[in-house]
Structure 1
Amino acid sequence: MKVLVDENLPPALARALDALFSGKHEVIHIRARFGPGVKDVDWIGELSAEGQWIVISGDRRITRNQAEYVAFQNSNLVGFFLSAGLYKSPLIKQMERLMALWPTIEQQASIVAGGAMFELPMKSSRIRQLRL
């Protein structure tokens, strides 16, 4: 599985996940791939063309901006968005929740079509699909 960590989350999180899953998954921070400030529609289009990418994001703006939302919905990407409470939590809590939810992230990413978006909860072990 190829995983992109977006610009609203720290590069250290991507590096830690990449080290933990070395040989099984490729995890990269968006800045390492595209540099700082890349437009969402640009990286969505490029990664979609490659296929098999999932996105871990703290940026729910993608779900509210029409152009970004349409680009993501029509992509081959699967998105996992931190809930508001989880996004505001310290990095260690975010990492803890990602580790607890990782098997679910892997399973969902393997069974859903591109364009699907899910919310990663602060406490529950169940993720919910974002329907907009």
Structure 2
Amino acid sequence: MSVLSLIGELLVLFGTVFYLLSTLGLIRMPDVYNRMQTATKSATLGSLGVIIGTGIWALGEGFSVAWLTKAIVIAAFLLLTNPISAHALIRAAYKSGIPLWEGSVVDKYKEHLERKKKEEGEQE
């Protein structure tokens, strides 16, 4: 076993730990907004660990550099798309009227919408 293989396996283990944390977050969080935030962040980090770890492991096992290159491209794609898709889902949930958890202290999006509506009213 080479050092690269060991590093790859450790990264995959790191990623699976974050998948576990993501699952716990889905169970423990009180509302859809907190669940999405927790799941998106930890699942993204878990996916990065597994994907990059697999690429490094493949390099250590004698596969071509193309494996690592593909893993990096996939990881970059995930880093760009996961937050955007989570934002779109959370925004759709908010606009469809799913309430915030009663323990939520701040609703910045509501403040933004009220400010925007007020500015539009002043322009008319």
TM-score, length-normalised on structure 1?
0.28
- Larger strand proportion of the pair: 1
Q: Which has the larger radius of gyration?
A: 2
TM, length-normalised to structure 2: 0.29
